[in-house]
Amino acid sequence: MGLIDEKGRFFGKVSIIDIVIVLAIVVLVIGFVYNQTGQQIRQIIMADEPLYVTFLVEGVRRFSLDAVREGDVFFRQHERVPLGTVAHIDISPAHAIMTRTDGTAVFAPVEDRYNMYITLACVGSITDTGFFINGTLQVSEGGRLSIQSNNLLTMAMIYQVNQR
């Protein structure tokens, strides 16, 4: 008796076609599981590290500037899990493109409007895919996030992320 008999079965018991079908199903299942979970696994390089995230809030009025103080705690909108504590605030005049009466455009300061840079001291993780606050919220420069404190609710752009 050989390895494969005249009917194409291993040792006269299992069909080669059955084996190929079972192997194909196993490969498909492994591929599906990897596709669903393999891309979500991230390697944590540094956990529970101090991060400093600077948010840019553009074109605010004076009362919004007065509503933020160093030491205030900011949250993600509709969540009560703290993002971080205000470590520093910078203010600059807001600018916009204005059209002059002769039809030319100029980049000029806007009266009574300011850009506010709010730097939050946060605790986060550094992974192979970026920075994460509280282990779940990925922050990267250029992203937007709705943040709130007890006195201010605003949409802010993530201006800078670093470890300082």
* Burial letters 120-149, b for 16+ CB under 10 A, else e: bbbebbbbeeebbbeeebebeeeeebebbb
Question: Picking from 30-34, 116-120, 155-159, which range would have the lowest pLDDT averaged per residue?
Answer: 30-34
pLDDT tens for 34-87 read 777 655 556 777 778 899 999 999 999 999 999 999 999 999 988 878 999 999
The segment with the largest mean pLDDT, out of 33-37, 103-107, 114-118, is 114-118
How much is the pTM? 0.69
Residues 6+ apart with CB under 8 A from 126: 44, 45, 46, 49, 51, 132, 163
Residues in a beta bridge with 119: 54, 88
- Burial of 45 (C-beta count, 10 Å sphere; 0-12/13-18/19+): exposed
Whole-number pLDDT of residue 1: 53
pLDDT at position 77? 86
Q: Which of 52-56, 112-116, 133-137, 142-146 shows the lowest mean pLDDT across its residues? A: 133-137
Q: What percent of the chain has pLDDT over 90?
A: 57
Q: If pLDDT is split at 50, 70 and 90, which confidence band does 2 have?
A: low
Rounded mean pLDDT of the chain? 87
| Cα distance between residue 89 and residue 7, in whole Å | 81
Q: What is the pLDDT of residue 163?
A: 85
The residues, ordered by sequence, that sit 6+ positions from 70 with a Cβ below 8 Å of its Cβ are 86, 87, 88, 89
**Tell me, what's the pLDDT at 137?**
87
